[in-house]
Structure 1
Amino acid sequence: MKSIVTKLAAGLVAVSALTGIALAQEYPSQPVTIVVPFAAGGPTDTVTRLVAAAMSEDLGQQVVVQNVGGAGGTLGAGQVAAAANDGYTLLLHHIGMSTAPALYASLPFDPVTDFAPIGLVTEVPMTVVARKDLEPADIGALITFIKENGENITYGNAGIGAASQLCGLLLQDALEVKMTEVPYQGTGPAMTDLLGGQIDMMCDQTTNTTSQIQAGEIKAYAVTTPERVAILPDLPTLAESGVPDFNLSVWHGLYAPAGTDPAIIERLTASLQAALADESVANSFAELGTAPVAADQATPEALAAQLESQIGLWGEVISAAGVSAQ
């Protein structure tokens, strides 16, 4: 009897493996949608569209980008968490996946258990920028200006939980000052008002600021990473400008709904790695002040580890700042 049971179990394993192989060979047989949980034109949208175009070539099916903004990115993420786990609805989200548990008392999803990680995509530096006619000439003068004017300064961001808001929180905490925050429904509208002079400052990803900085349409003061950014070599880091230990980059990851077949996840991971190794993607990323992650980071394991560690980190920061979305 034991021998029969053993043979049956082995047969089931073999059938399961063959089914997974067949599924991977058939997938994808229709277009794949990547949901971006923010408005079109923002930095996460820009990154996603570059990756989606390259993945389309690798998968042999169109990869469509769908913007589902609202509620600090939780609306779009919740939509993907509830989607069929067949590999045709994915999520490309940023650092907000790790901040949401601390910001929202009730979420329509669990970032860890309701998603199957596919891989990290990129880590984007941020820039401290202002309307082009703001008085301070450099970062030292800006720090003094912020300390002297505090709440008279309007600071735009993409809403609660957005990377632009988190950067502002860290900066205000480091300088021990409060500015007047002006939240928007996405970074795109915030940038529009900054360009128009309706707000004074913001902190945003290089993917959304580099072209405006280079065109002289906004004034740039510093980057938020420990090292200077190659595309913006004249911008000092905050750490070298009197704000010690300031280090913030915005990581992005690709996810599928939990329960997606491992063979499909493996195929998507391979496609993501192929997209990030594409020379045109790397060149486009470089023009935006960032770079694709290494292949060993574009994996489910690396993304899962990043998400877990960042949930703990941002939980402490957000709790100390007393910020919540509800």
Structure 2
Amino acid sequence: MKPKYNHDQLSPADKAKRRSIVALGLGSTLPLSFIASRSSLAQTTYPSKQIRVVVGYAVGGPTDLAARLIAAKMQESMGQTIIVENKPGAGSNIASAEVARAAPDGYTLLLGTVANATNMTMYKNPGYDTLRDFVAISQVMSAPSILAVNPNLAVQSLKDLIALAKSKPGTLSFGSSGAGGSPHLAGELLQFRADIDLVHVPYKGAAPAMTDVIAGQIHMAFMTALSAVPHIQSGKLKAIAVASAKRVSALPNVPTFAEAGMADFEVSSWSGLYAPAKTPFDIVQKIYQESAKALSHPDVRQKLIGSGADPVGSPPDAFKDYNKAEIEKWATVIRRAKISL
């Protein structure tokens, strides 16, 4: 029969050894319990302080508007202050690089744009890698582009425009808001897909480019629906096609590029939320859920639609795949056009 164990009968040396073994056992299990509870802890405590949403463009633009709309609604729901910081410059690379280097704790976010796809190829060193340095959280909005021409140009359709361009290579011109911007890349994509030769005329902003299309100084330009629709409705511009999957409600008679004979031609000015890489999964999900809730709010939707944008609210996996597709699509166009900044 085994003698009954009595801790008091142990020698001081044996007691010390036993305490060491017990402590070692507890210490070895602590990391496992910590890891197991870490995600639930993050979910229940986040957010516990102010959140920053960094925007790589100036105050008052469409990206800034989207950021402030969703930040205000998310703040109401999450119970913490959410501020928007504008850090324009270098094609939005300054803002993106700053967020890429931030702590992956959910308190510094980026409202990025299509530039986060195009800059991967256009810049030799943008200061970050969109797929490696960020977690894609959700696409916030998408603003379709419209190809519009001067009303005196003798074309009525995309087919007519392509035929005219082929009959006069290097003669027809298209304007843009500047080299490397979305309207410029859309024009390059059109040339690539239609096998035509157009002359690119860069401007310092979208407004002067549109003004010169209306005045007949240049023949055409890709424009956002918000800026183009009033001038199309007044007859100052002629819409050829919409570069999106569906028609613009304000222009029900203007076909999409697919309907006009050019499939898979979609160009939009989009924006979406990103967090630094290695941000915990539960925090990413929390931000996604709160941003999607904000985008479903009637007044947020109304204001975005009124600005010419469509609210999206896609989940993280879908937005990640969209980023990959956009980077691949624009890389082909940028390399072909030999655009480098």
Change over 3 Å in CA distance of 1:107–1:15 after alignment to 2: same
- 1:307 corresponds to: 323
Return the alpha-carbon distance in structure 2 between the equivalents of residues 108 and 192 of structure 1. Answer: 35
- Local SS of the residue matching 1:273: helix
Is the Cα contact below 8 Å between 1:34 and 1:90 reproduced in 2? yes
1:13 alignment partner, one of 35, 39, 49: 35
Matched, 1:230 2:249: yes
TM-score (norm 2): 0.77
Return the alpha-carbon distance in structure 2 between the equivalents of residues 58 and 134 of structure 1. Answer: 52
2:154 alignment partner, one of 111, 114, 136: 136
2:265 alignment partner, one of 229, 242, 247: 247
- 1:324 corresponds to: 339
- 1:280 corresponds to: 299
Is the Cα contact below 8 Å between 2:162 and 2:196 reproduced in 1? no
Q: What do the CA deviations read for 1:70-111 (whole angstroms, capped 9, x no partner)?
A: 433333322332345453432222333222222222221011
Change over 3 Å in CA distance of 1:41–1:258 after alignment to 2: same
- 1:270 corresponds to: 289
Change over 3 Å in CA distance of 1:317–1:232 after alignment to 2: same
Is the Cα contact below 8 Å between 1:125 and 1:223 reproduced in 2? yes
Return the alpha-carbon distance in structure 2 between the equivalents of residues 191 and 40 of structure 1. Answer: 22
Q: What do the CA deviations read for 1:199-223 (whole angstroms, capped 9, x no partner)?
A: 4421133244334434555432211
Amino acid in structure 1 at the alignment position of 2:320: A
Q: What do the CA deviations read for 1:181-239 (whole angstroms, capped 9, x no partner)?
A: 22345545544655666544211332443344345554322112343232321112233
Gaps of 5+ in 1: none
Identity fraction in percent: 32
Return the alpha-carbon distance in structure 2 between the equivalents of residues 17 and 125 of structure 1. Answer: 38
Question: How do residues 1-326 of structure 1 correspond to structure 2 at under 5 angstroms?
Answer: 4=26, 7-13=29-35, 16-17=38-39, 19-21=41-43, 23-26=45-48, 29-30=49-50, 32-35=52-55, 37-39=56-58, 42-61=61-80, 63-131=82-150, 133-136=151-154, 138-139=156-157, 140-187=159-206, 190-191=209-210, 194=213, 199-241=218-260, 243-250=261-268, 251-288=270-307, 290-293=309-312, 297=314, 299-319=315-335, 321-326=336-341
**1:24, distance to aligned residue in structure 2 (A):** 0.4
TM-score (norm 1): 0.80
Is the Cα contact below 8 Å between 1:42 and 1:186 reproduced in 2? no
Is the Cα contact below 8 Å between 2:240 and 2:254 reproduced in 1? yes
Task: Indicate the structure (1 or 2) with the bigger Cα radius of gyration.
Answer: 2
Change over 3 Å in CA distance of 1:253–1:240 after alignment to 2: same
- Local SS of the residue matching 2:186: helix
Is the Cα contact below 8 Å between 2:50 and 2:80 reproduced in 1? yes
Question: What's the C-alpha RMSD, in Å, of the aligned pairs?
Answer: 3.3
Return the alpha-carbon distance in structure 1 between the equivalents of residues 42 and 308 of structure 2. Answer: 39
Change over 3 Å in CA distance of 1:193–1:80 after alignment to 2: farther
Return the alpha-carbon distance in structure 2 between the equivalents of residues 183 and 65 of structure 1. Answer: 30
Amino acid in structure 1 at the alignment position of 2:54: I
Larger mean CA deviation between 152-161 and 97-106 belongs to 152-161
Is the Cα contact below 8 Å between 2:54 and 2:99 reproduced in 1? no
Return the alpha-carbon distance in structure 1 between the equivalents of residues 87 and 121 of structure 2. Answer: 21
- 2:16 corresponds to: none
Larger mean CA deviation between 301-310 and 4-13 belongs to 4-13
Amino acid in structure 1 at the alignment position of 2:262: P
Q: What do the CA deviations read for 1:149-201 (whole angstroms, capped 9, x no partner)?
A: 55444322233442212211111123322222223455455446556665442
- Local SS of the residue matching 1:78: helix
Change over 3 Å in CA distance of 1:209–1:196 after alignment to 2: same
Count of aligned pairs: 317
Larger mean CA deviation between 96-105 and 257-266 belongs to 257-266
